[in-house]
Amino acid sequence: MKIYSSRVEVPDYEKWNLEDIYTDIEKWEKEVRKIEGMAEQLGKYDGAIHDGKSLYEFLKTKEELSYMLNHVHAYSMLKGDEDTRDADAQALSERVQSLGVKVGAATSFFMPFLLELEESTLKRYIAEEPGLKYFEEDLFDSFRYKAHVLGKSEEALLSQLGESFSAPASIFGMINNADIRFGEITSDNGGKIELTRGMYAKLIEEEDREKRREAYKAYYQPYLQSKNTIAATLAAAVKTNARMAGIRNYPSALEKSLFGDNVPKEVYENLIQSTKASISPMHRYTRIRKEKLQLDELRAYDLSVPLVKDVKQDIAYEEAFETMLKGLAPLGEEYISILKEFKDKRYIDVRETPGKRSGAYNLGIYGVHPYILLNHRDDLDSLFTLVHECGHGVHSTLSARHQPQITARYSIFVAEVASTVNEILLIHYLLDNEKDLEVKKHLINHFIDQFKGTFFTQVMFAEFEMKTHEIAEKGEPLNVEVFNTIYESLFREYNGDEIVFDEEVKYGWSRIPHFYRPFYVYKYATGFASAIHLAGRILKGEKETLQSYLEFLGSGSSDYPLELLKKTGVDLTTPEPINSALAQFADLVEEFAKA
């Protein structure tokens, strides 16, 4: 794997092309000024909507503004993520944040106004103005929020505080991406070098246990050094979520987060309960890991090393992309042609560089196309990450292609289905086309670890979120000790008693950015369970399932997510999809134990 010391060194074909959004910063500036003017214009509708015509004009202008705001936000975000140390890019993001607050303040009157209307009045407005048909379903869906929207002055005040409410996430982002300096490790020539995230991802899988231990300690060093700051930041985020739920008259922060998707809390609770009821295969896998590694003591830095030796695969990006195309061929020609565009038209930013945002994501931009951030390391994990994010990318593409703007943005709840179906199809392709028995065992091991990371770990995170929010809702303190106690207890419960805990284990919560998006991570697990069901049927050649799945990808938010999934044959209001996935995990562990 080539390590780049600056972004300039990366070839253009491995960097995204942001000129598809704005060809230069002047065009971005011009759009920002236009949005500011439109925000003022929207504010003038406060108290001036009296008929269908004025309601339509407001909604049409608001949608046009939203379209532009999404573009200026996307550009500033993508630019900033290229190098989180870039002060100019940070300034763009700060301007967009302020702009969002202005727009929020200008339009904050609308929901209180709408929810004060009688349904008969709204129906009359729609009858008066044909253009309102486009907004009709969205308008009536807003009535679900009647009990949770405050008065006009209170909503205006909350919108003004938007930046303050998002401060914990912003602060953690800067700590985690820009300020963190990992400890030193021993290089191949015996010298000392500073660890990077990319290096850590490689070293934690090293067969040399001392290298794993050294990387693990160096990786956690800055988190332990900043434990009180990060704990205060996370506590502020959790308490804000809990207080906002109370202010908006939700029974709990969990139910507030689930409300938008119309997901009953029983789906969340059932996920945790069903997983813990079938946790024994996970514990068995931990024991198998200890045995295969021939260790007297299993520690946290032993949990990622592959259990099948001498089959570590180096997969260059070009090869990874071609493998993806072959593995996803069951999804059809249209799907594959969309994937090819991603690479040919430079929608993907491939390489890790200093200051670049860690991890990976897809950002769909209506009216442009998706952009995908990677930190590709030319290994098997990077291949799976590519396939995962391209699943999101195709989902964004098809939803934008088949839905109007108002319903093109899909819920995060269904997003993880699209990405994980791709991963399941890929693993089956790799297993079906591999003749070397050792490599096959390695792939089964990888599938088990993928299952662990995407399902079990996310359920553990989901329970951590639920427990910490329950503490905040009781008005009890949240601090380092509380977070450590909860996390350490859950880690043992989910992974079993075979692990000897180093000091770092209980600080696992301190490095998780998803905790700043409340009750998000459970969707990885429900998405994974749904994907296992769908991918299995697609691989069996069920044309009806494939057709319903492709329609699902083009559905955006045209229905509630649980209803969209039901159309593909997956019903998450029952335990069946979760239990089915857990049964498959048990089979994989059994197969690996015999291998």
Domains belonging to the chain, first-starting first, are 7-165 (1.20.140.70), 317-440+529-552 (no CATH)
- Give pLDDT, residue 189: 84
Do residues 42 and 62 lie in contact, with contact meaning Cβ atoms separated by under 8 Å? yes
Q: Select from 60, 40, 46, 54 the least CA-distant residue to 110.
A: 46
User: Residue 363 pairs with which residues in a beta bridge?
Assistant: 371
Model pLDDT for residues 58-69, shown as the tens digit of each residue = 999 999 999 999
How far from the centroid of its chain's Cα atoms is residue 317's Cα?
22
- Give pLDDT, residue 478: 97
- Give pLDDT, residue 313: 76
Q: How many CB atoms lie within 10 A of CB 296?
A: 6
Backbone angles phi, psi at 139, to 5 degrees: -65, -45
Burial of 280 (0-12, 13-18, 19+ CB in 10 A): exposed
pTM of the model: 0.82
- Give pLDDT, residue 178: 84
Model pLDDT for residues 209-226, shown as the tens digit of each residue = 999 999 999 999 999 999
Distances (CA, A) of 535 to 97, 416, 490, 539, 586: 39, 13, 30, 6, 18
Residues of the chain predicted below pLDDT 50: none
User: What Rg, from alpha-carbon coordinates, does the chain have?
Assistant: 24
Catalytic residue ranges? 389
Cβ neighbours for 121, distance < 8 A, ≥ 6 positions apart: none
- Give pLDDT, residue 149: 83
Distances (CA, A) of 123 to 135, 182, 248, 289, 477: 12, 60, 27, 63, 48
- What distance in Å separates the CA atoms of residue 422 and residue 425, rounded to the nearest whole number? 5
User: Residue 194 pairs with which residues in a beta bridge?
Assistant: 184
Do residues 57 and 42 lie in contact, with contact meaning Cβ atoms separated by under 8 Å? no
- Give pLDDT, residue 157: 86
Q: Select from 310, 279, 274, 304 the least CA-distant residue to 289.
A: 304
- Give pLDDT, residue 177: 85
- The structure tokens listed for 370 are 């998706």
Do residues 570 and 533 lie in contact, with contact meaning Cβ atoms separated by under 8 Å? yes
